[in-house]
Amino acid sequence: MTSLETTTARSDRLHDDIAENPSRYRVLTGERPTGPLHLGHYFGTLAERARLHQRGVDTFIILADYQVITDRDAIGNIRDNVYGAVLDYLASGIDPQRATIFTHSAIPALNQLLLPFLSLVTEAELHRNPTVKAEHAASGRALSGLLLTYPVHQAADILFCKGNLVPVGKDNLPHVEMTRVIARRFNDRYGQVFPEPQALLTSSPEVPGLDGRKMSKSYGNAITLSMTADDTAAVIRKAPTDSQRRITFDPINRPGVSALLTTAALCSGRDENDLADQIGDAGAGALKKLTTTLVNDFLAPHRQRRKDLAQDPHHVADVLRIGNQRANEIAQQTLDEVRTAMGTIY
C-alpha cells in the first residue's frame, strides 16, 4: 500500500470517528487573505469547514495576513480582504459564538513559537517542501526567508491551539507531515506538549476559472462570492469560448466551454455531459446564459446572508476582536507550556 493509500484509509476512519465523536477534535484551517473569496474557495474549503463545524468540531479559522507577503512585495488591501472573508465565513454557516476566527498578526505568542520550531527542521527539509518549490518557481523572484520557512509558520498556526485535525487536499499533505515532525521532535527533545495532528483528506472538486485554468484571484478568472448577480453575468459573458455551435464537454480541446460546463454542473448537482446535451447546438451564448442562472441561483442564499450581515458595520470587527482575544489567551498558555518544557521560565 502506498503512503497516499495509507493516508486515505486513515482519513476515511477519521471521517467515521468525527461523525461519532466530534468533541475529540479541534480543527485549524484558514487562508491567506490575498483577495475576495471565490467559488473555488466555497467548494474547496468553506463548505467542508461549515460541515465540520456544524457537526460539533471545535473550529479555529486563521486569516494569515502576515503570510500574504510570502511570495509578493505588497500586502494589498488587507483590511477589506480580511473583513470580506469573515463575512463569507459567517454566511457559509460558521457560528462565531462556537468558532474562533482570528488574524495571524494579532497573536504575538503564536509567532514566538517559530524560534524553537525552526531549530527542529533542517534547511534541506524546507527546500524539499513541494509548496515552497512551486510558489518560488511561480513568483519569479529570489527565495525569501519567509517563503522558505512557510511550512514552519503553518506548523505554528496549527500547534499553538493544539489542533489535532487539518482538512487538506492531497497536494498539501506535506504541510501536515512537517507539522507532525515538528510536534514529535519537540516532544522528544523537551517533553510532551503537542499533539501530532492528523490530515483529513477532502475530496473537494477543482473549480476551473472562466478561462479554463484553475480559478485564482491572481489570474482574474474568478467568480467571487461578493459579486452581485449582475456582476456575475458580466464576467461570464466575457468568458472565452470558441466558434463551435455544438456544446460538448472536452476539457483538453475546449477549455473555456468545459470550464463553464463544470461550473454549471457544480452549482446544479448535474453532470457536465448532461448539461452539454441539453444545450446542444444552441451555442456559447446559451451556455453562458444557463451557467449564469445556475451560479446566481446557487449563490443567492449565501449572498443574501452576506448582505444582511454587512448591514451592521461593527459585527465583523466584534467577531475578530473576540476571536483574537480567545486565540491570544490560548497562544499565551501554549507558549508558557513551551517555555516551561524548555526551562526558559525566569
Sheet holding 198-201, edge to edge: 99-103, 58-63, 26-31, 165-168, 198-201
pLDDT at 1: 55
Phi, psi for 23 (deg, rounded to 5): -70, -10
Which residue, chain included where needed, has cell 512557510?
A: 150
What single string gives the DSSP state of each residue in 149-166?
THHHHHHHHHHTTT--EE
Could you give the CA distance from residue 253 to residue 197 in angstroms, rounded to a whole number? Answer: 41
* Residue pLDDT, tens place only, 27-78: 999 999 999 999 999 998 999 999 999 999 999 999 999 999 988 888 889 9
The letter for the amino acid at 324 is: N
What percent helix, strand, coil does the chain show, rounded to 5?
60, 10, 30
Could you give the CA distance from residue 171 to residue 168 in angstroms, rounded to a whole number? Answer: 8
Which residue, chain included where needed, has cell 507531515?
A: 177
Tens digits of pLDDT across the chain (346 residues): 567 777 788 888 998 999 999 999 999 999 999 999 999 999 989 999 999 999 999 999 999 999 999 888 888 899 999 999 999 999 999 999 999 999 999 999 999 999 999 999 999 999 999 888 888 887 788 899 999 999 999 999 999 999 999 998 877 888 899 999 999 999 999 999 999 999 998 877 778 898 888 888 777 789 999 999 999 999 999 999 999 999 999 999 999 999 999 999 999 999 999 999 999 999 999 999 999 999 999 999 999 999 999 999 899 999 999 999 999 999 999 999 999 999 999 9
Quick one: how far is CA 35 from the chain centroid?
Answer: 13
Q: Which of 73, 78, 97 is nearest to 31 (CA)?
A: 78
Q: Which of 93, 160, 215 is nearest to 332 (CA)?
A: 160
The dihedral of CA 335, 341, 342, 344: what is its sign? positive
Q: Which of 199, 225, 168, 201 is nearest to 31 (CA)?
A: 168
* Residue pLDDT, tens place only, 299-316: 999 999 999 999 998 999
Q: Which of 109, 88, 78, 104 is nearest to 44 (CA)?
A: 88
Cell of 72: 509578493
pLDDT at 134: 84
Model-wide pTM > 0.85 = yes
Cβ neighbours of residue 123 closer than 8 Å, sequence gap 6 or more: 148
